[in-house]
Amino acid sequence: MDDGERTAGGDGRPETAAVRVRGLWKQFGEQTAVAGIDLDLPAGRFIGLVGPNGAGKTTTLSMITGLLRPDSGLVEIGGRDVWRDPVGVKSRIGVLPEGLRLFERLTGRELLTYMGRLRGLPAAEVERRCDQLLDVLDLSAAQHKLVVDYSTGMRKKTGLAAALLHNPEVLFLDEPFEGVDPVSAQTIRGVLERYTSSGATVVFSSHVMELVESLCDWVAVLASGRIRAHGPLAEVRGAAPSLQSAFLELVGAQGNPAGQSLDWLGGPR
């Protein structure tokens, strides 16, 4: 296979796709969560997947990473089909989903050791990587506490460590900064920036535009299960003063209409 070429950083060469999505579709009962997504995510970039709540970000990421079976469509990561070649795909991706648990009755260190060994890494190597990850993510002091006693920020950092442990080519993070305190957020950010600078690809979803604007060089805007815009940050932003206003325009959000609604709020009690 031509992995080396595909994962090379985008310096001048035509961009290769780290992730290729075609006609991705998912329906829950009557509701269409993802309505036919076609998308090529370039390799070696820091990619933001943005959209309002309920836009289908989590569903899309779950289907891309093999956690949820799509109704139809194709997903390829590094040229490998996610559903037909799980061996090729699962060893090359790292995932941090939103809203799913970790093994909470293990300590942070035990969890990482467990994941590393399940990934087939030798024990000594797992030990070495755990030490470094725990240290860099500022988790060393809490490594012998059960995950059930961790704060949200510590959980996200532990999840990130588990996702990075096997040195994946593409990292998928669903709302990695949701509910995370500023100190932990800065730590996560530092690790991700270091990771992408080595040529790896990060795809993360968020609805915090300022964050996406400051971190990403490539964005895709998702609303009502469809891609509204995608491309390098500057292109998507266009003439708008910020990504936030470009986003609001793209998803067609209106300001609050003036009227009588909520006229009781703040009135006599």
Partner 1 sequence: MSAPGARQASGPPADPALPAGAPYGAGAAGDGRASAGAVTATFVRLKLSLLRNGLRQSTGRSAAFLGSVLVALLFGGLGLLGLVALRGHAYAEDVGIALVAVVALGWTFMPMFVGGGDETLDPGRLAMLPLPPRTLLGAELVASAVGTGALFTVLLVSGAAATAAHGPAGTALAVLAVPLVLLVCVTLSRALATANARLLTSRRGRDLAVFSGVVVAFGIQGVNLGLSSLSADESLAPVEPIADVLRWLPPATVIEAVRAAGEGRPGLCAAALAWTLLAWGLLFAWWRRTLTRLLTAPDSSTLQAAPEGAERRAGARGSALAALLPPGRTGIVMLRSLRYSWRDPKAKMGWVTSLGMGLLLPVVFAAQDSGSVYNSCWVSGLFGLLMYNQFGQDYSGFWLVSQTICTPRDALAELRGRALAIAVVSVPCTVVVVSLFCALSGAFGQLPDALGLALALQGAMFGVGAVTSARFPYSIPQDSPMKNVAPGQGATAWFTIVGGACSAAVVASPVIALTIWLNVSDAAAWPVLPVGLGYGLLAAWAGLRVAAPATARRLPEILTAVSRG
The C-alpha atoms of residue 218 and residue 125 are separated, in whole angstroms, by: 34
The encoded tokens of residue 103 equal 């093994």
- Determine how β-strand 218-223 pairs with β-strand 72-77: unpaired
Does the protein bind partner 1 through residue 35 (CB under 8 A)?
A: no
The C-alpha atoms of residue 129 and residue 104 are separated, in whole angstroms, by: 21
Q: At closest approach, how far in Å is the CB of 222 from partner 1?
A: 21
Q: At closest approach, how far in Å is the CB of 246 from partner 1?
A: 33
Does the protein bind partner 1 through residue 101 (CB under 8 A)?
A: yes
Give whichever of 82 and 216 is closer to partner 1, judged by the CB atom.
82
Does the protein bind partner 1 through residue 106 (CB under 8 A)?
A: yes
Exactly one of 12, 14, 99, 257 binds partner 1 (CB under 8 A); that residue is: 99
Does the protein bind partner 1 through residue 158 (CB under 8 A)?
A: no
Answer left, alpha or beta for residue 175, where phi above 0 means left and psi between -120 and 50 means alpha. Answer: left
Q: At closest approach, how far in Å is the CB of 8 from partner 1?
A: 25
Give whichever of 25 and 114 is closer to partner 1, judged by the CB atom.
114
The C-alpha atoms of residue 122 and residue 119 are separated, in whole angstroms, by: 9
The encoded tokens of residue 39 equal 């998308």
Does the protein bind partner 1 through residue 91 (CB under 8 A)?
A: yes
Q: Residue 237: beta bridge partners?
A: none
Exactly one of 8, 17, 35, 67 binds partner 1 (CB under 8 A); that residue is: 67
Give whichever of 109 and 237 is closer to partner 1, judged by the CB atom.
109
Say which residue the tokens 């648990």 belong to. 101
Give whichever of 67 and 248 is closer to partner 1, judged by the CB atom.
67
The encoded tokens of residue 226 equal 């469809």
Q: At closest approach, how far in Å is the CB of 226 from partner 1?
A: 22
What beta strand segments (E) does the chain contain? 17-28, 31-42, 46-50, 72-77, 80-81, 93-96, 170-174, 201-206, 218-223, 226-232
Residues interacting with partner 1, by CB under 8 A? 29, 65-69, 86-87, 90-91, 95, 97, 99-107, 109-110, 114-115, 117-120, 144-146, 148-149, 162
